Amino acid sequence: MALQSLIDRFFTTSETRATADLIRDHTKDCDTVLEFGCRGGMSGLLLIQGLLDAESKWPRRYVGVDLVEDESVKNLRGLATQNGLSFEFWCGHSKTYPLHETDGFCWDTFHCGGNLFDDLVRISPYVKKTIFVLGTRSHGTASQAVVRGLSITQVAKELQITEEGVKMGLKEGLRRFLATHPEWIEVAEVGEITVLRRVSPISISLFQA
């Protein structure tokens, strides 16, 4: 099935269509997109379509990072390559992913504020244009661990963050990040998606170790 047909099939309500438009609009000026937590494929469909929407003379590339390459990831790979995009998948924990420059970054790993804050602090210096954060409505005030009744201590150990960070909602994680990183501003929030845009140039050197 064609990529646009899949998007039309899955994004049917006014809110999901607005979400789709938001992601595509903020991806179409990107040549490269990195996604942490790409299983499921819904955001990946929109990121890939956004890359295809781009009018760019440069090769476009999607990079997905997750713990397992399941059928949804394989389907994304097929859709990307059928449409002439470079597709890369890195199997492993996002916290150990070797960082590199990217135009866009989409975050959808374990939904808690401490995890989000740590990931954004680590990756944001390498992101040149846009950050998408998923889950900011469902887990905006109460984290995924709190909502699901998971062991706070165990999650903290697995994510290597504090128990306070595990309990923290995504909105607080975002607030703390933006308060300490004025080079980023929040520009939009629709449904489960919050979008940040860079307002000052990237400072990481290509030759920095």
Q: Is 209 inside a domain boundary?
A: no
Q: Which domain holds residue 64?
A: 13-198
CATH code, domain with 96: 3.40.50.150
Percentage with pLDDT > 90 across the chain: 81
Q: Is 118 inside a domain boundary?
A: yes
Percentage with pLDDT > 70 across the chain: 96
pLDDT of residue 42: 85
Q: Is 7 inside a domain boundary?
A: no
pLDDT tier, 205 (very low <50, low <70, confident <90, very high otherwise)? low
How many domains does one find in the chain? Answer: 1
Q: Is 5 inside a domain boundary?
A: no
Q: Is 45 inside a domain boundary?
A: yes
Q: Which tens digit of pLDDT belongs to each residue from 117-130?
A: 999 999 999 999 99
Q: How far apart are the first and last CA of the chain?
A: 43
Q: Is 177 inside a domain boundary?
A: yes
Angle (CA) 133-202-56 rounded to 5° is 80
Q: Is 206 inside a domain boundary?
A: no
Of the listed ranges 51-65, 76-90, 152-166, the least confidently predicted one is 51-65
Q: Is 204 inside a domain boundary?
A: no
For residue 23 the two structure tokens come to 């992601």
d(CA 64, CA 22): 20
Q: Which tens digit of pLDDT belongs to each residue from 91-139?
A: 999 999 999 999 999 999 999 999 999 999 999 999 999 999 999 999 9
